[in-house]
Amino acid sequence: MANNNIKLADSMAERVEQLAEQRHIIELGGGESRLQKQRERGKQTARERIDNLLDAHSFDEVGAFRKHRTTLFGMDKAVIPADGVVTGRGTIFGRPVHVASQDFTVMGGSAGETQSTKVVETMEQALLTGTPFLFFYDSGGARIQEGIDSLSGYGKMFFANVKLSGVVPQIAIIAGPCAGGASYSPALTDFIIMTKKAHMFITGPAVIKSVTGEDVTADQLGGADAHMTTSGNIHFVAEDDDAAVLIAKKLLSFLPQNNTEEAAFVNPNNDVSPCEELRDIVPVEGTKGYDVRDVISRIVDWGDYLEVKAGWATNIVTAFARFNGRTVGVVANQPKVMSGCLDIDASDKATEFINFCDSFNIPLVQLVDVPGFLPGVQQEYGGIIRHGAKMLYAYSEATVPKVTVVLRKAYGGSYLAMCNRDLGADAVYAWPTAEIAVMGADGAANVIFRREIDAAEDPAATRAEKIEEYRNAFNTPYVAAARGQVDDVIDPADTRRKITAALEMYATKRQTRPAKKHGNMPC
């Protein structure tokens, strides 16, 4: 480990040599054998991760020589290289960012007072300069030897996470252990990318076994797949560190530097010629499913989009994409999963995404094919009312341009929750297959024609007749168009052109809300 007291050399040349030696020792972190062990586990070292993330030679380390000020319990002479975290600034595709990377080879990457101070100072610099903050987590959590000071350090990190929230994008990359209260720091960021080498939980398998008697492995409990498919805590799964860095870079390419800017135009595609394939994707029959991603890939630039939380609440799709180079957030019902119904998890997933986009000036595009909120006792007991309300809240509060396209079903409250005109959609289009109504024709006929159906000689035939009558009268886009709920009924082939034009028109949208400290979104 680095030497605390060195005898200073007399000449500049020797001093430069001493500096290089000291730096080398610091860069060795916990030493060769621990670095080797880290690599054998399929993990990169803290410095390798930063080197992979940033443009070549752009890393400007800050605080390599920082030391803890206290005598650590049982470790009187310890010198802890960089105090177990590498911090600094650099660029990604030429854009400045601030980074931190916990060094697991140094006391398990544990966070004491100085480590947390370094991280918080880096975050403050990100805030000051309006640049994104990225943090590789790989740590045994609070440094046990520093006791309460390490807890306080985490408190400061949480506070800083919240301070940065909505001002600069924060991206957490969970690349190793992240346990206990420490996991609340990534949870307070905007996006979590987790590698398959990492684990994250509040209490590990052993504690769970002793408290509840449940048997679970670390992977089952807090591996990346569990968080993606079951808890919904993370946004992206990465096979390893390299893959995580690629996701982080792609994600950043869609985002602005901070909340006062708009995302840079990237690789615009100005071809908005009709796409006739779009006429063949959505079955006219409402009961048939399809993959809404087949629509997304045909309307966005180059068919390229980045799905967020792709493995959780898959009945709704949230994704970043571009129209003529302009970043948008796409929120689309997914009819191939649960018929695209909105449930508790889908509402939460959409709400978080809408809030992020609105915070960072990213317009929202909705693709609507939703039969309703999911019926069920568990949904009601689980609070579908307050969860669904979040979506209504988020869309109503969002002042970015909002463009809604109704592909097929748009029934009842879920029609509103997918950002209809009344929730502030600036442009609303409907395909000829759209059915915008209070409910489906079957349900509606049963309610309003119940007496006639019961009294009929042939109730089944009368019922079918009434359903047909209702469908033709109400389950079309034309009633909504007549009432000004949609601007136009469009040929699906023209969807890209219409959305692109609307986004260009509303790019200058300026909308304010009454001044308040903050709203009170249900949770």
CB-based contact 366:396 (threshold 8 Å):
no
154 touches ligand HXC by CB under 6 A: yes
160 touches ligand HXC by CB under 6 A: no
Say how many residues touch ligand HXC, by CB under 6 A.
16
Least distance between ligand HXC and beta carbon 1 (Å)? 11
CA distance 293 to 137: 32
Residues in the chain, total: 523
Least distance between ligand HXC and beta carbon 204 (Å)? 7
CB-based contact 312:228 (threshold 8 Å):
yes
Closest to ligand HXC by CB, 109 or 388 = 109
Taking CB under 6 A as the criterion, which residues in 214-273 touch ligand HXC? none
144 touches ligand HXC by CB under 6 A: yes
151 touches ligand HXC by CB under 6 A: yes
Closest to ligand HXC by CB, 233 or 339 = 233
CB-based contact 228:314 (threshold 8 Å):
no
Q: Which two tokens stand for residue 203?
A: 């209490």
Closest to ligand HXC by CB, 73 or 302 = 73
Closest to ligand HXC by CB, 142 or 365 = 142
Least distance between ligand HXC and beta carbon 112 (Å)? 8
Q: Which two tokens stand for residue 491?
A: 């040929």
141 touches ligand HXC by CB under 6 A: yes
CA distance 340 to 335: 4
CA distance 332 to 399: 19
Closest to ligand HXC by CB, 194 or 319 = 194
Least distance between ligand HXC and beta carbon 201 (Å)? 11
Long-range contacts of 24-30 (CB under 8 A, 24+ apart): 25/1, 25/81, 26/2, 26/64, 26/65, 26/81, 26/82, 27/64, 27/81, 28/81, 29/81, 29/82, 29/103, 29/105, 29/106, 30/81, 30/103, 30/104, 30/105, 30/106, 30/107
49 touches ligand HXC by CB under 6 A: no
Taking CB under 6 A as the criterion, which residues in 6-35 touch ligand HXC? none
Least distance between ligand HXC and beta carbon 439 (Å)? 47
Taking CB under 6 A as the criterion, which residues in 77-116 touch ligand HXC? 107-108, 110
Q: Which two tokens stand for residue 317?
A: 């799709």
Among 142, 278, 391, 410, binds ligand HXC (CB under 6 A): 142
Beta strands in 132-284 (DSSP E): 133-137, 170-174, 177-179, 191-195, 199-201, 236-238
Closest to ligand HXC by CB, 161 or 500 = 161
Least distance between ligand HXC and beta carbon 184 (Å)? 6
Closest to ligand HXC by CB, 110 or 258 = 110
Among 88, 140, 363, 440, binds ligand HXC (CB under 6 A): 140
Among 43, 143, 227, 497, binds ligand HXC (CB under 6 A): 143
Closest to ligand HXC by CB, 150 or 361 = 150
Least distance between ligand HXC and beta carbon 222 (Å)? 11
Q: Quick one: CA dihedral 491, 497, 502, 503, positive or negative?
A: positive
DSSP 8-state secondary structure symbol assigned to residue 146: G
Beta strands in 12-94 (DSSP E): 60-61, 85-92
Radius of gyration of the chain (CA): 27
Pattern of binders to ligand HXC over 169-188, x per CB under 6 A? --------x-xxxx------
501 touches ligand HXC by CB under 6 A: no
Least distance between ligand HXC and beta carbon 242 (Å)? 21
CB-based contact 220:199 (threshold 8 Å):
no
Closest to ligand HXC by CB, 31 or 383 = 31
Residue with tokens 């947390």: 116
- Expressed in angstroms, the distance from the first to the final Cα of the chain is 48
Least distance between ligand HXC and beta carbon 217 (Å)? 13
Instruction: Considering only the C-alpha atoms of the chain, give the largest distance between any 2 of them, rounded to a whole number of Å.
Output: 111
CA distance 7 to 18: 9
Closest to ligand HXC by CB, 154 or 429 = 154
Contacting residues toward ligand HXC, per CB under 6 A: 107-108, 110, 140-145, 151, 154, 177, 179-182
